[in-house]
Amino acid sequence: MTTSPELSPVSGAPDVRDLRVDGRRLWNSLMQLAELGATEKGGVCRIALTDLDRQGRDLFSRWAREAGCELRVDAIGNIFARRAGRNNALPPVTTGSHIDTQPTGGKFDGNYGVLAGLEVIRSLNDAQVVTEAPLEVAVWTNEEGSRFVPVMMGSGVFAGAFTLEHALAQRDNEGTSVADALAAIGYAGPAQASAAASPVGAYFEAHIEQGPVLEANERVIGVVEGALGQRWYDVVVQGMEAHAGPTPMELRRDALLAASELVVEVNRIALAQAPHGRGTVGWIDAYPNSRNVIPGRVRLSVDLRAADDTVLLAMDAALKQATQRIGALHKVDIGVEQVVYFPPQAFAPALVSAVREAAQQQGMTWMNVISGAGHDAVYLARVCPAAMIFVPCLDGISHNEIEDAQPDHLEAGCNVLMQAMLQSAGVVAS
């Protein structure tokens, strides 16, 4: 990876700090891609490895070839569109995201990062700028995980978080495997799916925030310093069903009452670790779910997140202590099984600084933020320097058909992306 705070590592290289992307072209591309799987409420339903996903991949691939890029597809279906540099022996400066959506997805989640990268390529072509290192735009497979698990599958395989064989063997609710789905849409590529086979010099990802922080603070650019670690749990509270009338209150083993206290405790655990602690019970199932029967069993999910692993471990310990106390108080058994763990991930300080400097140089309002959600950049950060750029989304709403973002904010984020990529790739004298 080449770096230069002046954006001009080669003597006589042009000063590209005033170069800007075509915001209207970026917006039009986003709207055209959004037509594939468009919903009545204005969103997008384009599930991973379906025919609509194929159409989206085909459209991106056509646009990338028209921009002069060379394409390759790896064995998990990740697409890489490469713009040559002067020294193609250098590892590329890569950007990208995903184009698969949630069933009730929006136009911008993931799609913005992919098409912002394409717009950088197009704008550099327009300005006839040559970079020292090559540039790449990546489309990562099955980031959302709405059809196949694990989530962030393509980037996870690329970064070695799990094996290609494991990913290809996963099946959807209809029994279709990832391997069969990739073959069906024509994106089971021949290239090796690993960073070892295809090293990356630096990785940037532009994304809508998917939260309300930037909007609340009236900032256009989020300089993402890292991503929260996550621990997910399946919890089972086992009490005893009994008749709601004859059973005295003091003799009950009410699983729902205990679960309700645990929900409140999860909230307290997160509040005690402000500002980045998060605690959520997002799913709950009570049995037998009858109005005149004391619930005998409750199953629920717990999602804990923090920016520091020490804090996340403290939250884990607090959760287990709370289950012991609540279980003893209400004479119920509470079982806790951890089912997901993502360690907190700091992004590369030099790349984070490049994002911040680009926003400052262009006179944009910005703030440092931490990503509360998982993104492909989190896996890429395990194998190369990585950073992210956030822009606001209306009311912080995402994974929703009404997801929205302002064209000028999207353009601003794309301009920051371009300058940060140029700083890492270097600019060649004309």
* pLDDT tens by residue, 285-298: 999 999 999 999 99
Instruction: Look up the CATH number of domain 229-342.
Output: 3.30.70.360
Residue 10's pLDDT is 42
Report pLDDT for 173. 93
By CB neighbour count within 10 A (0-12 exposed, 13-18 middle, 19+ buried), where does 363 fall?
exposed
Mean pLDDT taken over the chain? 95
Determine whether 269 is exposed, middle or buried from the number of CB atoms within 10 Å of its CB (0-12, 13-18, 19+). Answer: buried
Summarize the confidence of residues 45-68 as an average pLDDT. Answer: 98
Decide if 23-227+344-425 and 229-342 have a common fold: no
Q: Where are the domains of the chain?
A: 23-227+344-425, 229-342
In the CATH hierarchy, which fold is given to the domain comprising 23-227+344-425?
Answer: Aminopeptidase (3.40.630)
Per-residue pLDDT tens digits for 327-345: 999 999 999 999 889 899 9
Is residue 201's pLDDT more than 50? yes
Q: What is the mean pLDDT of residues 130-140?
A: 98
349-359 in b/e burial notation, b at 16+ Cβ within 10 A? eebbebbbbbb
The pLDDT score that the predictor gives to residue 12 is 57
